[in-house]
Amino acid sequence: MFVSELRFISWNLNGLNAALDHGLINFIQHTEADIYAFQETKVADPEIPIAGYYIYVSSCTTRSGYSGTMCLTRYKPLAVSYDFHQFTANNLTHWNNIDIEGRIITLEFQDFFFVNCYFPSPLRNRKRYDYRSTWDKQFLAYVEALLAQKAVIVCGDFNVTVSADDAHMVDYSSDGYETTEHEAVMKFLDLGFVDAFRFLHLHTKHVYSWWSGKDKNRYDNRGRRLDYFLVSKQIASFIKASSVMREIYGSDHCPITLSIRLHIAHSFLWEPQTDNRPKPKQQRRVQKFPKGSQHERNSFAEQLRVTDYEATWSNIDWDDVENRVARMQKLSLLR
C-alpha cells in the first residue's frame, strides 16, 4: 500500500532548545506532518522526546550553537546526504569547504529528493557576502544535478524575498534584497521550479514568514516571506495546499506547509524496533491539555499569545539589543 498525499512543514526555529521549551513537541503532535524540516537548530546532538519519526541532524562543524538543520520523517529514506556530493557523483568537490555549517540535508525517496536548506545571510559583511555568493552557485549546481535524476522538493529559509509582494516594504539596501541574491534565486526557479505558495495564491499579498522582533513588527504584520517550498515543475500539478502558519509563535519565523500527492510505500513507515537512538537522558516538560479542549486543538499557538509578546517586547531596549548583536558578530568574525 502507498500514501497518496504527503504533508510537509518547514520552520526556522531560531534555536531548537528554545523551541522545545516553547512547546515544539505539542506542535508536532498537533500538526502530524509526514516530514518536518527545521532550520537554525543551533545544536549538535539534539534530544527530541517524540516517537514515530526518523531523525536526521546536520550541525555546524566550526562554531557551536550556530546554524544547523534537522529533518523528522515518518518514512525511512533510501539515502541521506549532509553535503553537496553524495547524489552528484562527486562532481562538485571543488567547493569542499562550503557545506561545513550544517545548512543542508537531502533525503532521497523512490520518486523524489527532499532538500532541507538554510541559506546563509550576508550580514552586510564582505566575507559572509562572498560565502553566500559561493553557496548560491554551489546550490544551483547541486539541485540541477538532482533534477537530472528525479523530481525535487526544496524547502527552508532562503534569506531572500522572491518578489516585492513578499515584503511589507522593499528596501533594496538591506539584507534579503541584494541584487546578486535575488538573481540567484531567480536562476534557481528558472531551472524548473515553482513557488508552491504562489502556485496556489498568485495574487495574495501581506503574507510573510519572518518578522523583526523590533517595534511590534509581527503584531502589525510588517515582515518578509523568506521561507519557501519550491517544487520541480514535473510534479507541480500534484500540489494540493500550501500555507503560512502566521498564528504559530516560538521563533522570529513561522512555519510553512505543503501538501502534495506523492507516493511512499507503507513498508518505509517508521518502526520502533528499528530506532536505535539512545533515549534522552532528561525528558523535557511537555504541557498537557484536556482532550478535546480548545487548548488541546491549538496547544502550541495558545501557549504563546500575541499579548504575551507585546508585554515582553514593550520592555526591551531593541536599540541596545541590536548594538550588542552587532558587537558579538564583529568579535566572532575577528576570531
What span, in angstroms and rounded, lies between the C-alpha atoms of 43 and 64?
A: 7
For residue 257, report the phi and psi dihedrals to the nearest 5 degrees: -130, 160
What is the mean pLDDT of the segment spanning 298-318? 51
Q: Which stretch, 1-10, 96-105, 130-139, has highest mean pLDDT?
A: 130-139
What is the mean pLDDT of the segment spanning 222-231? 96
With contact defined as beta carbons under 8 Å apart, do 223 and 210 qualify?
yes
Q: Of 1, 8, 2, 4, whose CA–CA distance to 231 is shortest?
A: 8
Encode pLDDT of 156-182 as tens digits: 999 999 888 888 875 544 544 456 777
Q: Of 208, 131, 193, 119, whose CA–CA distance to 163 is shortest?
A: 208
> Which of the following is catalytic: 118, 129, 131, 249?
118
Compute the residue count for the chain: 335
Domains in the chain with CATH codes: 2-334 (3.60.10.10)
The overall pTM is greater than 0.85:
no
Encode pLDDT of 6-16 as tens digits: 999 999 999 99
With contact defined as beta carbons under 8 Å apart, do 115 and 101 qualify?
no
Does the pLDDT of residue 299 top 50, yes or no? Answer: no
Does the pLDDT of residue 287 top 60, yes or no? Answer: no
What is the mean pLDDT of the segment spanning 102-116? 96
Residue 138: alpha-carbon gap to chain centroid: 19
> Which of the following is catalytic: 157, 175, 195, 227?
157
With contact defined as beta carbons under 8 Å apart, do 284 and 21 qualify?
yes
What span, in angstroms and rounded, lies between the C-alpha atoms of 160 and 176?
A: 4
The DSSP-derived string for 120-167 is: PP-TT-HHHHHHHHHHHHHHHHHHHHHHTTSEEEEEEE-SS-SSGGGB
Q: Look at residue 170 in the predicted model and tell me its pLDDT.
A: 57
With contact defined as beta carbons under 8 Å apart, do 120 and 156 qualify?
no
What span, in angstroms and rounded, lies between the C-alpha atoms of 190 and 280?
A: 44
Helix runs in 148-285, H state only: 179-190, 196-200
Dihedral, CA of residue 300, residue 306, residue 307 and residue 308, to nearest 10: 50
With contact defined as beta carbons under 8 Å apart, do 28 and 72 qualify?
yes
Residue corresponding to grid cell 522572491: 162
With contact defined as beta carbons under 8 Å apart, do 194 and 233 qualify?
yes
Specify whether 118 is catalytic: yes
Encode pLDDT of 130-155 as tens digits: 888 888 989 999 999 999 999 999 99
Q: Look at residue 326 in the predicted model and tell me its pLDDT.
A: 62
More confident residue, 31 or 318: 31
Encode pLDDT of 24-69 as tens digits: 999 999 999 999 999 999 998 888 889 999 999 999 988 888 999 9
Strands 69-73 and 104-108: unpaired
And the C-alpha cell for 146? 538532482
Residue type, 18: A
For residue 195, report the phi and psi dihedrals to the nearest 5 degrees: -75, 115
What span, in angstroms and rounded, lies between the C-alpha atoms of 181 and 63?
A: 24
SS3 content of the chain, % helix, strand, coil (to 5): 35, 20, 45
Helix (H), strand (E) at residue 9: strand 6-12
| Mean of per-residue pLDDT scores for the chain | 81
Residue type, 28: I
The radius of gyration computed from the CA coordinates of the chain, to the nearest angstrom, equals: 19
Specify whether 309 is catalytic: no
